[in-house]
């Protein structure tokens, strides 16, 4: 074996602190060292060129460069090796500048230490093997988790640019919360009218063939990294074939009824039914728990009613698991209102006529449980509606942040109530009003003359009690006269959607201290998550309105185009773990040690490391009791040889 050594003096930086001549002579005596060249500035363009020439001419089997830190110039000299036609991994650097010359006051001691380290490098480099950097193309497809405004916007923008998208939605409906709202602030547009064209584009438009929509589905697992994720998705059986035309005959025939979760239990639905009128995709779903068959009955009314044939309805459809390969993931799982029962003084669930904002949205909606007809608990037209703002928001005992959307929708409620019941009075019970943006202030004028504002002081400054004639008394800590209302609407703080923590765990991406997904940077990079390849949109990262969600969806799509353009190649570093199948006993310790889920036991019981997933840390190799795992460039043999060399 022929080892060539370059000894860089770094001008005087090394030459003044180490006896370079003595060092070169010592290196020359090391086994297999064919030559040792002393160079002034090896990293200079001229010397790199000369080095390349020397490597071509001499064609050494291994190369050692004693110079500065490998963190500074290992890549530089590996590049020269490659240019000279040598495998870059046949190089070993010795840091005789930062870790010898610059920290060792005495020349003789510095020289002796440099000799030891060089002896280690020469011994080690003999054990190096040529390694190959593999390249694979990044997967351009994208997974979007969440079919609300942020998710659908991201999906549309990505599909528009030719990407294939897998859109996973937990509920039976796409469009998120606003498709269940009658009107949306600040422009008072009809929510479904605004969103349905977008949803139609996803479902049936020219983009549909590039967007796979999985409803009633949840991500159950993920491995991989930016450019190459493998995601498993559990899809609950809908019980209805996609061929269904949505005529609704099955629902009409179904004898079983239960509370409808899409109306927060304010209305009912049949065991096989649509989530609500106009819900997309236009397919009913079968709730097996409600179905008479769950009670052992042999009911098949739905099957018999179906015009397309009984096969269109499927009983006992199991959860299916599908696997998809994607290069990036957009998390758009949104937020939800905090549970109002946490505020005992508001007596939500006890006093009839006290609703949360999302329930009130459904009561106002023509697709809601009352068809949009608003009435008091006693069945009268409401004469007075009170809205309690900031329930749990800006409240140190619950959520100290402003949820940002409540004031706007509260004023929207005022507008809708005023337009439907011109005689009714509207009472906003608030602490602060937050109406930023172009349309914000205009909302204040929407309520009309019978809109009143009552300020309260402390987060827990409001209590509700039943009043005379089925009305509700709102008492505030300002000591003002009690407000009497037929209906009280609570504006609960927006918190991360249920399941957020589980999803964060699956994608191994952190949440912030409030439980929302943490952005790469809270100000300058909010579309990217902390982990490469994970993108964030909408209220999963911070409570926001529909505009912000849509913008977030666009931003996530744009960030993906920037980070993972189609055709982008991923380099697979050879500094990764490889298992020796002969020596592997299949104990699985490596599997538990790997922080990247790269090590796995294959069906024959042996461990294998997925090179795409491996980051090369070597934790598995260090823990393998059989010594069956090796790490490229940092093999056991190489490290032990270096150890022996420096201690020789």
Structure tokens at 381: 């037209």
Q: Tell me if 95 contacts other proteins by CB under 8 A.
A: yes
Q: Tell me if 224 contacts other proteins by CB under 8 A.
A: no
* Nearest distance in Å: CB 632, other proteins: 10
| Gyration radius of the chain over CA positions | 34
Q: Tell me if 644 contacts other proteins by CB under 8 A.
A: yes
Q: Which is nearer to other proteins, 216 or 620 (CB)?
A: 620
**Residue of the chain from 106, 339, 350, 498 that contacts other proteins (CB under 8 A):** 106
What is the DSSP track for 490-548? Answer: EEEPEEEPTTHHHHHHHHT--B-TTSSBPEEETTTEEEEESSTTEEE-GGGTS---HHH
* Nearest distance in Å: CB 638, other proteins: 10
Site string for other proteins, 347-376 (x = CB under 8 A): ------------------------------
Q: How many chain residues interact with other proteins (CB under 8 A)?
A: 45
Question: Which 52-71 positions form the footprint of other proteins (CB under 8 A)?
Answer: 69-71
Q: Are the CB atoms for 131 and 633 separated by under 8 Å?
A: yes
Site string for other proteins, 576-595 (x = CB under 8 A): -----------------x-x
Q: Tell me if 520 contacts other proteins by CB under 8 A.
A: no
Q: Which is nearer to other proteins, 346 or 641 (CB)?
A: 641
* Nearest distance in Å: CB 98, other proteins: 3
**Residue of the chain from 100, 118, 202, 387 that contacts other proteins (CB under 8 A):** 100
Q: Are the CB atoms for 171 and 145 separated by under 8 Å?
A: no
Phi, psi of 247 (to 5 degrees): -75, -25
Residue 403: closest CA among 468, 494, 471? 494
CA 324 → CA 167, 316, 501, 613, distances in Å? 11, 25, 22, 16
Please give the Cα distance from 581 to 604 (Å, whole number): 10
In degrees, to the nearest 5, what angle opens at C-alpha 510 toward C-alphas 505 and 516? 100
Structure tokens at 400: 């100290």
Q: Which is nearer to other proteins, 109 or 583 (CB)?
A: 109
Please give the Cα distance from 235 to 223 (Å, whole number): 18
**Residue of the chain from 145, 617, 628, 630 that contacts other proteins (CB under 8 A):** 617
**Residue of the chain from 2, 53, 85, 109 that contacts other proteins (CB under 8 A):** 109
In degrees, to the nearest 5, what angle opens at C-alpha 226 toward C-alphas 221 and 232? 20
Q: Which is nearer to other proteins, 195 or 631 (CB)?
A: 631
**Residue of the chain from 8, 66, 117, 443 that contacts other proteins (CB under 8 A):** 117
Phi, psi of 8 (to 5 degrees): -95, 130
Structure tokens at 474: 């709102």
Q: Tell me if 642 contacts other proteins by CB under 8 A.
A: yes
* Nearest distance in Å: CB 105, other proteins: 5
Question: Which 68-87 positions form the footprint of other proteins (CB under 8 A)?
Answer: 69-72
Q: Which is nearer to other proteins, 112 or 170 (CB)?
A: 112
Q: Which is nearer to other proteins, 457 or 505 (CB)?
A: 505
Please give the Cα distance from 611 to 614 (Å, whole number): 5
Q: Tell me if 22 contacts other proteins by CB under 8 A.
A: no
Q: Are the CB atoms for 333 and 504 separated by under 8 Å?
A: no
Q: Tell me if 46 contacts other proteins by CB under 8 A.
A: no
Q: In this chain, which stretch among 182-190, 307-315, 563-571, 609-617 interacts with other proteins, using CB under 8 A?
A: 609-617
Q: Tell me if 99 contacts other proteins by CB under 8 A.
A: yes
Please give the Cα distance from 3 to 124 (Å, whole number): 11
Q: Tell me if 126 contacts other proteins by CB under 8 A.
A: no
Q: Which is nearer to other proteins, 307 or 648 (CB)?
A: 648
In degrees, to the nearest 5, what angle opens at C-alpha 190 toward C-alphas 405 and 411? 35
Q: Is the dihedral of CA 542, 546, 548, 553 positive or negative?
A: positive
Q: In this chain, which stretch among 54-62, 82-90, 369-377, 619-627 interacts with other proteins, using CB under 8 A?
A: 619-627
- Residue 532's Cβ-count burial label (10 Å; 0-12, 13-18, 19+) is middle
**Residue of the chain from 48, 62, 73, 112 that contacts other proteins (CB under 8 A):** 112
Measure CA 139 to chain center.
17
Q: Which residues pair with 145 in a beta bridge?
A: 168, 331
Q: How many CA atoms lie within 13 A of 606 on its CB side?
A: 14
Q: In this chain, which stretch among 80-88, 97-105, 252-260, 480-488 interacts with other proteins, using CB under 8 A?
A: 97-105
Task: Point out which residues bind other proteins (CB under 8 A).
Answer: 69-72, 95, 97-106, 109-110, 112-113, 116-117, 120, 575, 593, 595-596, 615-619, 621-623, 631, 634, 636, 639-640, 642-644, 646-648
């Amino acid at each position: 074996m022929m080892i060539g050594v370059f000894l860089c003096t770094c001008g005087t930086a090394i030459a003044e602190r180490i006896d370079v001549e003595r060092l070169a002579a010592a290196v020359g005596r090391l086994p297999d060292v064919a030559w040792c060249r002393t160079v002034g500035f090896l990293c200079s363009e001229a010397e790199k060129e000369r080095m390349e020439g020397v490597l071509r001419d001499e064609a050494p089997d291994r190369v050692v460069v004693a110079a500065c830190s490998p963190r500074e110039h290992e890549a530089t000299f590996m590049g020269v090796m490659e240019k000279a036609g040598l495998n870059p991994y046949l190089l070993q650097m010795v840091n005789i500048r930062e870790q010898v010359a610059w920290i060792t006051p005495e020349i003789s001691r510095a020289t002796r230490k440099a000799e030891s380290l060089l002896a280690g490098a020469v011994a080690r480099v003999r054990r190096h093997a040529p390694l190959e950097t593999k390249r694979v193309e990044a997967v351009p497809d994208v997974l979007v988790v969440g079919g609300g405004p942020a998710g659908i916007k991201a999906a549309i923008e990505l599909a528009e640019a030719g990407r294939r998208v897998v859109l996973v939605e937990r509920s039976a409906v796409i469009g998120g919360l606003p498709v269940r709202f009658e009107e949306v602030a600040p422009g008072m547009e009809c929510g479904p009218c605004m969103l349905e064209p977008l949803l139609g584009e996803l479902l049936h438009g020219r983009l549909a063939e590039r967007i796979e929509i999985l409803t009633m589905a949840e991500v159950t697992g993920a491995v991989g990294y930016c450019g190459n994720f493998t995601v498993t998705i559990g899809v609950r059986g809908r019980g209805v074939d996609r061929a269904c035309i949505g005529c609704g005959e099955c629902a009409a025939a179904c004898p079983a009824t239960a509370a409808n979760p899409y109306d927060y239990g304010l209305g009912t639905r049949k065991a096989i039914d649509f989530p609500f009128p106009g819900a997309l995709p236009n397919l009913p779903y079968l709730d097996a728990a409600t179905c008479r068959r769950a009670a052992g009955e042999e009911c098949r009314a739905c099957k018999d009613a179906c015009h397309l044939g009984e096969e269109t309805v499927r009983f006992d459809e199991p959860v299916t698991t599908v696997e998809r390969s994607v290069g990036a993931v957009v998390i758009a799982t949104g937020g939800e209102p905090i549970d109002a029962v946490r505020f005992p003084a508001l007596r939500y669930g006890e006093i009839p006529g006290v609703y949360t904002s999302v329930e009130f949205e459904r009561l106002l909606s023509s697709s809601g449980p009352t068809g949009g007809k608003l009435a008091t608990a006693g069945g009268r037209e409401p004469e007075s509606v009170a809205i309690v703002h900031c329930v749990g928001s800006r409240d140190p005992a619950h959520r100290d942040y402003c949820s940002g959307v409540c004031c706007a929708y509260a004023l929207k409620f005022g507008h809708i109530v005023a337009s439907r019941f011109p005689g009714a009075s509207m009472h906003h019970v608030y602490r602060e009003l937050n109406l930023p943006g172009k349309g914000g202030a205009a909302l204040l004028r929407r309520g009309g003359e019978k809109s009143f504002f009552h300020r309260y002081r402390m987060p827990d400054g409001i209590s509700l009690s039943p009043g005379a004639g089925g009305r509700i008394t709102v008492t505030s800590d300002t000591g003002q006269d009690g407000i009497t209302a037929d209906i009280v609407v609570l504006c609960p703080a927006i918190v991360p959607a249920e399941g957020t923590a589980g999803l964060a765990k699956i994608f191994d991406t952190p949440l912030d201290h409030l439980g929302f997904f943490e952005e790469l940077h809270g100000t300058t990079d909010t579309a990217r998550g902390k982990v490469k390849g994970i993108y964030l949109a909408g209220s999963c990262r911070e409570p926001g309105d529909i505009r912000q969600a849509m913008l977030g969806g666009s931003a996530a799509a744009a960030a993906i185009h920037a980070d993972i353009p189609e055709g982008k190649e991923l380099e697979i570093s050879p500094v990764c773990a490889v298992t020796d199948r002969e020596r592997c006993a299949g104990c699985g310790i490596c599997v538990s040690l790997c922080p990247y889920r790269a090590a796995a036991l294959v069906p024959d019981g042996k461990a294998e490391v997925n090179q795409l997933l491996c980051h090369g840390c070597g934790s598995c190799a260090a823990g393998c009791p059989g010594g069956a795992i090796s790490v490229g460039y940092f093999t056991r043999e190489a490290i032990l040889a270096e150890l022996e060399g420096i201690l020789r």
